[in-house]
């Protein structure tokens, strides 16, 4: 077997997620992190020193010109994503962008339109799609026919987000910034296209508390989304067919219950989801495969936009 040529990876951003992506790519022998850039150069220099990244740059254009990187990983705050992506779209590398790609739907659609105009090759870091828990459920469901019922529980705290330093505009659109993690499970497990959304308890931005929506797909699958705002609640997902129920709670772990039994049985998770931020190590492999021209299932920018539109419909006023 011919050994693949090592691909070069550039990083935009130097925060928590940038570090986690670096850790994941550093573990893949077919990836070489060649450069990093951040709005705060000192933070980029810190990560470059910690992970032996050869180059720190002050502009994306210079970084591409000097490295000709094959892949760029964009991990910047929501309000910076638009301008950073548009700059990255000007160069012929493959692009992996942390979600959400846009602080709201209009922002996301503008970014996607510019990507199409530039002919950019863009994928989105929806890392929960690459959890070993998610994959285990998908593989099991693929062997079972019949309608699926997807029940999602989401909990969000805008006050805590503000206290953590999140900008007001981002917090006002927190369903895109954070609820995307949960709502994307509808896109993962609901087959076909969304047929109807019944907003049983609609979003009230003036008094956020309970949001409840019933979602149906043209495949016959259906789901319930429950969002609890500024009040205690869990993050969980369950996917049910007639004879079996899967539960992800926490989302990184999977257990199942068979009809006729009251016992939940857990499955063994992949070691990567213990050693790295869950999903990122496998996602790094898939990004490398994408650059090398191999098969992969990284979500495209268009796929991500479908989830953004779903969020918008659930939360529209």
Rounded CA gap, 20 and 7, in Å? 19
- CATH number assigned to the domain covering 129-270+300-315: 3.30.360.10
Q: In this structure, are residues 298 and 96 in contact, taking their beta carbons and an 8 Å threshold?
A: yes
Rounded CA gap, 212 and 200, in Å? 5
Over range 220-237, report the average pLDDT.
97
Over range 260-289, report the average pLDDT.
96
pTM of the model: 0.96
Rounded CA gap, 99 and 79, in Å? 12
Q: How confident is the model at residue 3 (pLDDT cuts 50, 70, 90)?
A: low
Q: How confident is the model at residue 2 (pLDDT cuts 50, 70, 90)?
A: very low
For 37, 88, 247, 270, 317, the CA distances from 223, given in Å and listed in that order, are: 41, 37, 14, 28, 20
Q: How confident is the model at residue 284 (pLDDT cuts 50, 70, 90)?
A: very high
Q: In this structure, are residues 246 and 258 in contact, taking their beta carbons and an 8 Å threshold?
A: no
For residue 124, how far is the Cα from the chain centroid? 6
Q: How confident is the model at residue 266 (pLDDT cuts 50, 70, 90)?
A: very high
Class at the top of the CATH hierarchy for domain 7-127: alpha beta
Is the pLDDT score of 216 beyond 90?
A: yes
Over range 123-146, report the average pLDDT.
96
Q: How confident is the model at residue 295 (pLDDT cuts 50, 70, 90)?
A: very high
Q: How confident is the model at residue 145 (pLDDT cuts 50, 70, 90)?
A: confident
Is the pLDDT score of 1 beyond 70?
A: no
Same fold for the domain at 7-127 and the one at 129-270+300-315?
no
The domains of the chain are located at 7-127, 129-270+300-315
pLDDT tens sequence across 171-191: 999 999 999 999 999 999 999
Is the pLDDT score of 129 beyond 60?
A: yes
């Amino acid at each position: 077997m011919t050994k693949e040529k090592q691909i070069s990876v550039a990083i935009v951003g130097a925060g928590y997620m940038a570090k986690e992506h670096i850790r994941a790519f550093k573990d893949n022998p077919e990836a070489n992190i060649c450069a990093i850039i951040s709005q705060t150069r000192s933070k980029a220099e810190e990560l470059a020193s910690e992970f032996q990244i050869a180059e720190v740059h002050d502009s994306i254009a210079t970084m591409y010109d000097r490295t000709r990187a094959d892949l760029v990983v964009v991990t910047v705050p929501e309000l910076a994503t638009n301008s950073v992506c548009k700059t990255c779209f000007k160069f012929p590398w493959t692009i992996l962008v942390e979600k959400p790609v846009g602080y709201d739907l209009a922002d996301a659609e503008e970014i996607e339109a510019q990507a199409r105009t530039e002919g950019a090759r863009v994928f989105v870091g929806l890392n929960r799609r690459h959890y070993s828990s998610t994959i285990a459920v998908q593989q099991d469901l693929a062997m079972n026919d019949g309608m699926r019922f997807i029940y999602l529980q989401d909990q969000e705290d805008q006050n805590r987000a503000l206290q953590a330093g999140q900008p007001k505009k981002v917090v006002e659109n927190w369903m895109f910034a954070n609820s995307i993690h949960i709502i994307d499970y509808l896109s993962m497990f609901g087959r076909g296209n969304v047929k109807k959304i019944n907003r049983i308890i609609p979003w009230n931005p003036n008094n956020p508390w309970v949001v409840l929506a019933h979602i149906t797909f043209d495949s016959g699958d259906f789901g319930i989304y429950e969002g609890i705002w500024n009040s205690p609640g869990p993050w969980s997902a369950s996917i049910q067919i007639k004879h079996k129920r899967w539960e992800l709670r926490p989302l990184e772990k999977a257990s199942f219950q068979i009809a006729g039994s009251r016992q939940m049985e857990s499955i063994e998770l992949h070691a990567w989801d213990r050693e790295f931020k869950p999903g990122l190590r496998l996602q790094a492999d898939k990004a490398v495969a994408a650059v090398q021209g191999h098969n992969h299932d990284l979500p495209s920018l268009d796929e991500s936009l479908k989830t953004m539109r779903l969020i918008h419909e659930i939360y529209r006023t």
